[in-house]
Amino acid sequence: MTPALEKLISHFASLPAIGRKSATRLAYHILDMNDDDVRAFAESLLEVKKAIRLCSICQCYSETEICLHCSDLTRDEHVIMCVEDNRALEAIEALHEYRGKYHVLHGVISPIDGIGPDQLKVKELLARLDDSVREVIIATNPSVEGEATAMYLGRLLKPLGIKVTRLAYGLPVGGTLEYADNTTLLKAIEGRTEV
């Protein structure tokens, strides 16, 4: 194993769900690719970091100052759905059923990892809550941290006179929205309950 190859393997292995074996296979695959393809691949890694920022309203990943969901005037601005991350937002979007707005928290409260509300996009959410917002749907994942975050937000928002709901999970505990099938996800949204 040469040092350069070893370095590439360790970079691949640092990615989620990639073990040492897969990392090695990927590194050898890169070695077999032609120079142009490798360059295009490397450039796309840098480009994704340069081109993508957070929407100034909902905090989702966007290539524009205000994202497509926030600038879509046909969406219901009275309802905001709070999700953990962009992947959950994409899972909900893929249903083509939800027509309200979003807010991306960029994580969940997790004392073990030292993540409190201040590390999440909570104050950005509060800044959005004017009289026009009637309901905040909390769509964090059905994990211990997701539940803790939902409870925290419920306690924070209810005194403001806003209806706060939580998805009705038929989802397996510990699962994520991203991997839920469409029917389960749709039922979870339709059957949401007030917290």
| Interacting residues toward Zn ion by CB under 5 A | 55, 57-58, 67, 70
What's the closest the beta carbon of residue 82 comes to Zn ion, in angstroms? 13
The answer to whether 54 and 79 have CB atoms below 8 angstroms apart is no
E strands, the chain, in order? 53-54, 61-62, 76-83, 100-104, 135-138, 163-166, 193-194
What's the closest the beta carbon of residue 124 comes to Zn ion, in angstroms? 10
Which one, 90 or 144, has the nearer CB to Zn ion? 90
Tokens of 145: 């941290």
What's the closest the beta carbon of residue 121 comes to Zn ion, in angstroms? 11
What's the closest the beta carbon of residue 60 comes to Zn ion, in angstroms? 5
CA distances, 193 to each of 139, 167, 186 (Å): 11, 7, 14
Which one, 58 or 167, has the nearer CB to Zn ion? 58
| CA nearest to 157, candidates 90, 105, 97, 119 | 105
β-pairing, 135-138 with 76-83? Answer: parallel
Query: 10 Å Cβ neighbour count for 56?
Result: 13
Which one, 40 or 68, has the nearer CB to Zn ion? 68
Which one, 42 or 51, has the nearer CB to Zn ion? 51
Which one, 70 or 137, has the nearer CB to Zn ion? 70
What's the closest the beta carbon of residue 101 comes to Zn ion, in angstroms? 8
